[in-house]
Amino acid sequence: MLAGFASQFDGRARWGRAAIVVAVMAASVVSVPAKEAPPAADELATVSLAALPAEAQATERLIRTGGPFPYPKDGSVFGNRERQLPAQRRGYYREYTVPTPGARNRAAKRIVCGGYQVTTPQACYYTDDHYASFRRIVK
């Protein structure tokens, strides 16, 4: 008789634990934050071209003259997956490496330009932290 009671108790305890797990999982689904919308162009901080490092100024000149660029990936489409730049259609943004003195690789500095004519972009943005933040370049 005692053995039957023990098996019923074990079964109920398992169902109780399962209910708690389901309740915790349901609560965690409800609290998932929504993705933020990309910023508008006028919401981004700005930086003057003259205030950028000399290497960034040289990269900006190369962009406007069409190169040649020192890195094979320069001019490739920038997907804006981080959603730090204003929303645009794929292919609108292109990225360019800003050389970092002493770095053995491309490092973190980039200029990303938007527009459909590569040498006359509508707007360019500078990042020195590998896309975590951008500042719109103004003349």
Kindly report the number of other CB atoms within 10 A of residue 118's CB atom. 13
Residue 75 · residue 125 · CB < 8 Å: no
For the chain, give percent helix, strand, coil, nearest 5.
35, 20, 50
User: Could you say which of 36, 43, 82, 130 is catalytic?
Assistant: 130
Clarify whether 130 is annotated catalytic: yes
* Nearest residue to 108 via CA among 124, 95, 123, 121: 95
Q: How far apart are CA 44 and CA 85, in angstroms?
A: 8
- Pick the catalytic residue from 43, 60, 82, 95: 95
Is 82 a residue of the active site?
no
Q: How far apart, in Å, are the Cα atoms of 121 and each of 76, 131, 137?
A: 14, 19, 11
Question: Hey, which residues are catalytic here?
Answer: 95, 130
